[in-house]
Structure 1
Amino acid sequence: MTTASNGDLAAQVGTNLPYLRRYARALTGAQNSGDKYAMATLEAILADPQVYDRSISPKAALFQVFHSIWSTSGATFEDGDTGLAARAQAHLSSLTNDTREALLLHTIEEFTFEDLGAILGVSQDEARELVDIAYSEMSKSVSGRVMIIEDEAIIAIDLEAIVSEMGHQITGVARTEEAAIKLAEAEKPDLILSDIHLADNSSGIDAVNRILAKHGDCPVIFITAYPERLLTGEGPEPAFLISKPYSEDQVRSAVSQAMFFASTETLKA
């Protein structure tokens, strides 16, 4: 491969790497384990650039290499991961193969069914069926208590409606960091759905960090208009991240995925 080709490949991979890292973390439920899979993907491409399929879109090609590693590893979490991951693995064992992956790829990463088929090695029709099965299986899987931290009233109402329709209990909606702290004191959530910038210029990230420090770990989904600011790889990053403006399918998918990592014993399996 020529130097120019190498440079082109590096540019394509670099552009799409943040989104692969987001996807890998959503699959594994943690930054460290997700990034290990992303790094293995890069190493595979460096070792043999031919595994990167230039006949499909650059993003799909990168994710295709990732899936060849993810599937051959048994699509399991690291032995050293937390109890959240162990609990998730128990829940996931009851799902049809590739359905969770298909749902994330289609909704969060917005792949077409054509690209989805290329990534997973199935036909477009099979890819569509996997997504349909995922919605059915995950809607019956787990339910729990969800806290919403969002300062825009219309968005908060929309999120509350989506999450409630999925069968989850809303513990409340907080518009500021301090309100979120008080809400967590009143009832510990199984999942937190949080904006980044809040009404009084306080931080959703700070609110979440304070809640987790006091009440223990639980999955968190951040919703932001600037996801790239949380996908730099330079520090701690959320495992679940969706962009504004979001679609209902993206919220439903992210909530369903995140609930598999909830640590509470009260979840209904």
Structure 2
Amino acid sequence: MRDISSEGPTTANFIRTIVERDRRSGKWGERIATRFPPEPNGYLHIGHAKSICLNFGIARDYGGACHLRLDDTNPEKESAEYVAAIIDAVRWLGFSWHQAGIEHLYYASDYYETLYRCAEILVERGHAYVDSQSPEAIRANRGTLTEPGIASPYRTRAPEENLALLRRMRAGEFREGEHVLRAKIDMASPNLNLRDPVLYRIRYAHHYRTSEAWCIYPMYDYSHCISDALEHITHSLCTLEFEDHRPLYDWILESLADAGVFKRPLPQQIEFARLNLSHTVMSKRKLAQ
């Protein structure tokens, strides 16, 4: 098999143009850091190969590091078996997450305590609140592409009350679905991802790494951007379905930077087109079946 990981730079594309512009401006100095962050909830398919080659290839060509991070925030669907399969797939393609003697293999679950502390900071600053509506009511009140959402009756809770409720959520005092933590952004935003998205939900489930240590779990959109910032990622490369999620990615990091948690510049999300092939299984769920 040809070792595609050792080949030199390829023809310029818009992502390389951004990286080279940032290097010329000194935005990140000479440092480049990307990441490949699959959720360990299934086996990788050929579509993931494009993301693997792009993220590891950009890091390689510019003398940077690409982190392999397992975004394991959904305990009901994740397992060590999928982690091993993902690691094997990246190695099979010829890439390594070792750089300058450092093993850049990470898990979102490594950051659970920090993610929770960031949630408390958002609550304290009035940027997040505990919503006690039912999941059905939250969905119904989200609105549509043509109609704004309806604000939760719990949106005006005082930060002190929200903080007390969040801590009780973590302590396991409530049932699943009884409360969630939501960002307080804009229920009338044309972007549905900004209509007070859920940041944390209650789940009494066994996690393959943390066992029963936690009963509240962060949503992917919340944990992903913070994990990028904690790892000092410079260019967060993802597929186009996350384009509408970028304003939320930026809002979370900007809010935490304003609170002094992170320093600017913050990771930059850049979207690229997915790889699709006809007559080929392109779904982790279908592969698992």
TM-score (norm: length of structure 2): 0.30
Structure exhibiting the larger radius of gyration computed from Cα positions? 2
**Larger helix percent:** 1
**Larger strand percent:** 2
TM-score (norm: length of structure 1): 0.32
